[in-house]
Structure 1
Amino acid sequence: MSPKPEGTFCLVLHSHLPWLAHHGTWPVGEEWLYQAWAHSYLPVVDMLRRFAEEGRNDVLTLGVTPILAAQLDDPYCLRGAHDWLGNWHLRSHYAGERLRELSAYEHRASSWALDQFESHWRHGFSPVLRSLVDSQTIELLGGPATHPFQPLLDPKVRAFALKTGLQDTKLRIGQAPEGIWAPECGYSPGMEAGYARAGVKRFMVDGPALHGDTSTAHPVGSSDVLAFGRDLEVSYRVWSPKVGYPGDAAYRDFHTFDHPTGLKPSRVTGKNVAPEDKRPYDPLLAREAIGRHVEDFVDTVVQRLRAIDGGLVVAAYDTELYGHWWHEGPLWLEAVLRALPEAGVRVTTLRGAVEAGHVGKPVELPASSWGSGKDWRVWDGAQVSDIVSLNESVQKELLELDFSRDVRDPVLDQAVREALLALSSDWAFMVTKDSAADYARYRAKIHSDRFSELAALARGGRGRARAAELRAADGPFGHLDARGMR
């Protein structure tokens, strides 16, 4: 007998990294991409592929930003990822002289990752992703091209960035997504009109933007565009600004390294335990913790659904949490997605939630984000005033350019590409959070400088050689046509 229906649950994963190719390797740069690829994207996609083989539909909603998709399809990045996986495999052997159990564990993990990559990923991510979309295993969310913080963009630039991103996704998987992950869940009143013009039917906001009323999707203003809110009571069980499952003493410690090999030999052990005093990682202890946390999460979802009379719970996280930041995350994720239906919870996508009737009354949304304070301070605060000023000057000069050419101009195309890369929300986020702040400021500055250089060359009818040189390093979105800025 099936358990009594408890309500509907949607898991939304947001996959994003800024453009890292050709901009440094280690400790900042391409290393981030390859680590996330190996430890998050490979296991999460493998899980989804197995769900597809079982015939399961609407397992979760997967956001993949266009700028990340561009890297996961890029031949340079594919070669780099394969080299990185091979190096990981060699490091696992080197650790055997001192850390035998860790060496064996990493040998198995790196062998599996190499097999996955060589079997499924050698032609890029798009063929893999398209099969998951076509089988309706997932719903795909897109977004603006380079993940800009949209509320701080001029409406014309905002519309172009979104159109470029949606077009890129359509080229990769055959259809434009109906939903987007609004970068940083950033919203300013009126943006829903632009979404409607672009064909976007639904987008994500953080729970406080809906004053906690996340038990249904809500039409925004007078539009038919739906806002889904992240349920913080449930989402924060996994990861919050202060606590969450990954901090359990039995889980692998992200921050402690065996420096000769770059491998992570320790478990968390305790919040105030020095790295040299942390206990060795024990996969069996970690498995026991996974079981506890799966049970706790399922119980939390069921209790929350009962409290809202069987409505909708949306939990949303960065994909990179699962495997990269939280080593055991992919195992926990699969166990949860299998346990929830057994507990009487309908697991579906945002699209599936709409089809099931989880749509409430229209709302007027405030200016908001999912950043600190749930406002815009991370991206427009005093700490990043230099980046804010840079972004304003880039947009001003961009809007003053002449895009009335009859044919495509590769200099203008590359100028716009550099402008979009300069406007990535990641640079301000990294500065505010003091995460590789110098690198972030460098990236914002170099792209804005390259944009201005190309803009000046374009105005003089020159610069084709320079544009080609820069495109070799910063070449996402080959379809980008600057004339769309008219």
Structure 2
Amino acid sequence: MSEGTFCLVVHSHLPWLPHHGTWPVGEEWLYQAWAHSYLPMVELLERFANEGRRDVLTLGVTPVLAAQLDDPYSIRAFHDWLGHWQLRAQHASTLWRGDPLLRELAAAEHRTAVRAAEELGSRWRHGFSPILRSLVDNSTIELLGGPLAHPFQPLLDPRVREFALNAGLADTALRLGTRPEGIWAPECGYAPGMENDYAAAGVRRFMVDGPSLRGETWAARPVGDSDVVAFGRDLEVTYRVWSPKAGYPGHAAYRDFHTWQHEVGLKAARVTGKTVEPQDKAPYDPALAADVLGTHVKDFVETVVTRLRSLKQRHGREALVVAAYDTELFGHWWHEGPAWLEGVLRALPEAGVRVTTLKGALEAGHVGEPVDLPSSSWGSGKDWRVWDGEQVKDMVAANAALQRRLLDLVGGLATTARDTVADQAVAEAMLALESDWAFMVTKDSAADYARRRAAVHTERFDALADLLRRGDRARAAELAAAYCADDGPFGHLDARALKHN
């Protein structure tokens, strides 16, 4: 008999980064995540696909990330970055030749960089979408989409929210040939009534955090009077891996994310201890990390089985556990994450657990009673404070004013022909409204960069809108083309669609 059902949901997202700085925040962020998370994730999923495994996991890919991973400039620049990675590893081999452990680490880095460059030049040469499409078409994964540029939806004007969602789903359909039926709502942000927006857009299921369902995450729940269902993260299980205070990646044996050998730009230390200064950390030992990884795979599987049995006893039926994380956790933040992920996905079926997608969970009958959801998110406090708190009060006001100006602009558009200037103005507004900027300010993570990015896109929108109002079409077209060369992620974006909302 099955112990129950497990769904792994991974959410892939970065804000638009090309042409907006390199280090310490900017394109480097994209290339690190690409090399250490997205490439390994694809390799893992293709191994499962070649074995005939289906419904392995549910993968969210935001339209703004997909645009970056398909972008010709980003692909070329990432290729250069991979070349520099090889050079840094070669330099490290020379510097560390007297230490066998570090010398092998440098050699391993070089091998990984070479393999990544080979993959980019072959499998990835046309971007991510052809690869992702094959994984969707053969049912290895279920794909989740989302709004165009990952805005915090509860704070959007309803007309802007509808436009962003439909444009985002259309973007995914253009890239993959399939319009997603499920979404990862940005930041799991929800406001009462949004299920009706989802139903109108053809969205059948979405993610919320566990407290939104008051911890009752053992089944999907129809929301309100709609047929749209919400899946909640099971925090009792999810937090075994990654929580605000603890989780596997902080183990002393794992590679330390924060400690760099700056002379070669590589991470050569293990965590060692939470209070150990960077210069005192021990060298990373892959064999030691592998031993610990095995115990963490076993611990997680036991946690899932115990949780499923407890839920079954409580509810009198087979239960569901949904564990959900950012894709970037696996590899980028947690070096050993991809290996842990593969170990868990192989071990759970052996322990009698059905591993499937959110769609598969519905097909297996994991649906409970309807529920009315509260305003919520997966951020601090499980409310909106990260995106609507005192630290970002000015940004919230600026975004509200931007949306009013945006609606005024499109309200005056002629509908007989597409207006590429207005299209770029709307694109700039979407990029200004990304949820990442407020998050980074509230969490004091590159806050200056985040404020600057929000301001730059707002200023670009205003410059184009002002030229259109003044009737300077020639200058507006010239400026829009220049902006689009740097910030043109959504070629299909049509401002007239917002006018009709």
**How does the TM-score come out when normalised to structure 2?**
0.96
Q: Residue by residue, what CA displacement relative to the aligned partner does 1:204-234 show, whole Å, maximum 9, x if unpaired?
A: 0000000000000001000000000000000
Q: Does residue 246 of structure 1 match 2:236?
A: no
SS of residue in 2 equivalent to 1:144: coil
Alpha-carbon distance in structure 1 between the residues aligned to 2:309 and 2:11: 27
Superposed, 1:453-468 pairs within 5 Å as 453-461=463-471, 462=473, 463-468=476-481
Alpha-carbon deviation of 1:358?
0.5
What's 1:217 paired with? 220
Q: Does residue 294 of structure 1 match 2:302?
A: no
Alpha-carbon distance in structure 1 between the residues aligned to 2:413 and 2:210: 40
Q: Does residue 203 of structure 1 match 2:206?
A: yes
Alpha-carbon deviation of 1:457?
1.4
Alpha-carbon deviation of 1:320?
0.1
Alpha-carbon distance in structure 2 between the residues aligned to 1:386 and 1:108: 47
What's 2:99 paired with? none
Alpha-carbon distance in structure 2 between the residues aligned to 1:367 and 1:206: 11
Alpha-carbon deviation of 1:134?
0.2
Letter in 2 for 1:293: H
SS of residue in 1 equivalent to 2:6: strand
What's 2:92 paired with? 95
Letter in 2 for 1:345: V
What's 1:419 paired with? 429
What's 1:37 paired with? 34
What's 1:167 paired with? 170
Alpha-carbon distance in structure 1 between the residues aligned to 2:249 and 2:371: 35
Alpha-carbon deviation of 1:389?
1.3
Counterpart of 2:138 (choices 119, 127, 135) is 135
Q: Residue by residue, what CA displacement relative to the aligned partner does 1:186-208 show, whole Å, maximum 9, x if unpaired?
A: 00000000000000000000000
What's 2:235 paired with? 232
What's 2:382 paired with? 374
SS of residue in 1 equivalent to 2:123: helix
What's 1:431 paired with? 441
Letter in 2 for 1:410: T
What's 1:346 paired with? 354
Counterpart of 2:363 (choices 346, 355, 373) is 355
Alpha-carbon distance in structure 1 between the residues aligned to 2:432 and 2:111: 40
Q: Does residue 476 of structure 1 match 2:476?
A: no
SS of residue in 1 equivalent to 2:335: coil
What's 1:312 paired with? 320
Letter in 1 for 2:201: A
SS of residue in 1 equivalent to 2:32: helix
What's 2:100 paired with? none
What's 2:392 paired with? 384
Counterpart of 2:373 (choices 365, 375, 378) is 365
What's 2:459 paired with? 449
What's 2:127 paired with? 124
Alpha-carbon distance in structure 2 between the residues aligned to 1:95 and 1:122: 29
Counterpart of 1:158 (choices 132, 156, 161) is 161
Counterpart of 1:70 (choices 67, 70, 78) is 67
Alpha-carbon deviation of 1:269?
0.4
Q: Residue by residue, what CA displacement relative to the aligned partner does 1:274-300 show, whole Å, maximum 9, x if unpaired?
A: 111110000000000110000000000
Alpha-carbon deviation of 1:108?
1.8
Letter in 2 for 1:182: A
Alpha-carbon distance in structure 1 between the residues aligned to 2:367 and 2:251: 37
SS of residue in 1 equivalent to 2:208: strand
SS of residue in 2 equivalent to 1:120: coil
Alpha-carbon deviation of 1:5?
1.0
Q: Residue by residue, what CA displacement relative to the aligned partner does 1:367-413 show, whole Å, maximum 9, x if unpaired?
A: 00000000000001010112111101110101112133310111110
Alpha-carbon distance in structure 1 between the residues aligned to 2:408 and 2:339: 51
Alpha-carbon distance in structure 2 between the residues aligned to 1:391 and 1:217: 33
Is there any run of 5+ residues in structure 2 with no aligned partner, and where? Answer: 97-102, 313-317
What's 1:84 paired with? 81
Alpha-carbon deviation of 1:67?
0.1
Deviates more, 1:25-34 or 1:452-461: 452-461
Letter in 2 for 1:321: L
Alpha-carbon distance in structure 1 between the residues aligned to 2:203 and 2:38: 26
Whether the aligned pair in 2 keeps the contact of 1:403 and 1:485 (CA below 8 Å) is no
SS of residue in 2 equivalent to 1:251: coil
Alpha-carbon distance in structure 2 between the residues aligned to 1:234 and 1:297: 8
Whether the aligned pair in 2 keeps the contact of 1:398 and 1:416 (CA below 8 Å) is yes
Alpha-carbon distance in structure 2 between the residues aligned to 1:225 and 1:403: 34
SS of residue in 1 equivalent to 2:424: helix
Alpha-carbon distance in structure 1 between the residues aligned to 2:128 and 2:248: 29
Whether the aligned pair in 2 keeps the contact of 1:65 and 1:142 (CA below 8 Å) is yes
Alpha-carbon distance in structure 1 between the residues aligned to 2:301 and 2:266: 32
Alpha-carbon distance in structure 1 between the residues aligned to 2:345 and 2:111: 25
Alpha-carbon deviation of 1:101?
2.4
Letter in 2 for 1:50: R
Alpha-carbon distance in structure 2 between the residues aligned to 1:182 and 1:95: 42
**What's the Cα RMSD here?**
0.7
Letter in 2 for 1:415: A
Is there any run of 5+ residues in structure 1 with no aligned partner, and where? Answer: none
SS of residue in 2 equivalent to 1:450: helix
Alpha-carbon deviation of 1:112?
2.1
SS of residue in 2 equivalent to 1:61: strand
Alpha-carbon distance in structure 2 between the residues aligned to 1:285 and 1:232: 28
Alpha-carbon distance in structure 1 between the residues aligned to 2:467 and 2:415: 15
Alpha-carbon distance in structure 2 between the residues aligned to 1:231 and 1:454: 45
Alpha-carbon distance in structure 2 between the residues aligned to 1:392 and 1:376: 16
Q: Does residue 194 of structure 1 match 2:197?
A: yes
Alpha-carbon distance in structure 1 between the residues aligned to 2:490 and 2:256: 37
SS of residue in 2 equivalent to 1:209: helix
SS of residue in 1 equivalent to 2:324: strand
Whether the aligned pair in 2 keeps the contact of 1:95 and 1:103 (CA below 8 Å) is yes
Letter in 2 for 1:101: E
What's 2:3 paired with? 6
Deviates more, 1:107-116 or 1:70-79: 107-116
Alpha-carbon distance in structure 2 between the residues aligned to 1:54 and 1:12: 21
Counterpart of 2:25 (choices 24, 28, 33) is 28
Deviates more, 1:92-101 or 1:337-346: 92-101
Counterpart of 1:56 (choices 23, 33, 53) is 53
Whether the aligned pair in 2 keeps the contact of 1:146 and 1:161 (CA below 8 Å) is yes
